[in-house]
């Protein structure tokens, strides 16, 4: 099972490094864009990333010029808002608690990203 995710992770990283223009990644998620951290957070929310796939994906994005703080925000937002995680929270909690879960996850990813950027 782990081998499938590792293969997917390496494949995604290769696709990013080979086919996504470095200038595009740097402009969207790089240090010169003041919205790099919120953009990475919002991209991480719908992205279905496991721990293994997320690391390789972010590794490829970092090679292309992604701001490290944006990468951290993506890594926090992605795995906590995967479809299985959201379905579990939706099934166990009320709609209000679910919305609070999403809000806290997003706010936490943004906050940690900005704090990391200050360091």
Judged on CB neighbours under 10 Å (0-12, 13-18, 19+), 49 is buried
For residue 16, the model assigns a pLDDT of 76
Nearest CA to 34 out of 114, 119, 111 is that of 114
Q: How many domains does the chain have?
A: 1
Judged on CB neighbours under 10 Å (0-12, 13-18, 19+), 78 is buried
Domain encompassing residue 22: 2-118
Residue 96 pLDDT > 70: yes
Query: What gap in Å lies between CA 81 and CA 105, rounded to an integer?
Result: 8
For residue 1, the model assigns a pLDDT of 55
Nearest CA to 37 out of 5, 73, 84 is that of 73
**CB 97: neighbour CB atoms within 10 A?**
11
pLDDT per position as a tens digit, 32-48: 899 999 999 988 877 76
For residue 82, the model assigns a pLDDT of 75
Nearest CA to 32 out of 70, 58, 3 is that of 70
Question: To which H or E segment does residue 87 belong?
Answer: helix 83-92
């Amino acid at each position: 099972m782990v081998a499938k995710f590792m293969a997917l992770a390496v494949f995604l990283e290769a696709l990013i490094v080979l086919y996504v223009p470095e200038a595009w990644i740097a402009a969207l998620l790089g240090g010169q864009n003041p919205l790099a951290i919120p953009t990475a957070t919002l991209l991480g929310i719908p992205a279905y990333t496991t721990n293994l796939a997320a690391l390789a994906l972010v590794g490829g994005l970092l090679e292309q010029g992604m701001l490290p703080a944006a990468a951290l925000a993506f890594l926090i937002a992605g795995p906590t808002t995967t479809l299985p995680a959201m379905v579990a929270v939706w099934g166990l909690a009320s709609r209000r608690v679910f919305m609070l879960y999403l809000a806290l996850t997003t706010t936490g990813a943004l906050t940690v990203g900005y704090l990391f950027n200050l360091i």
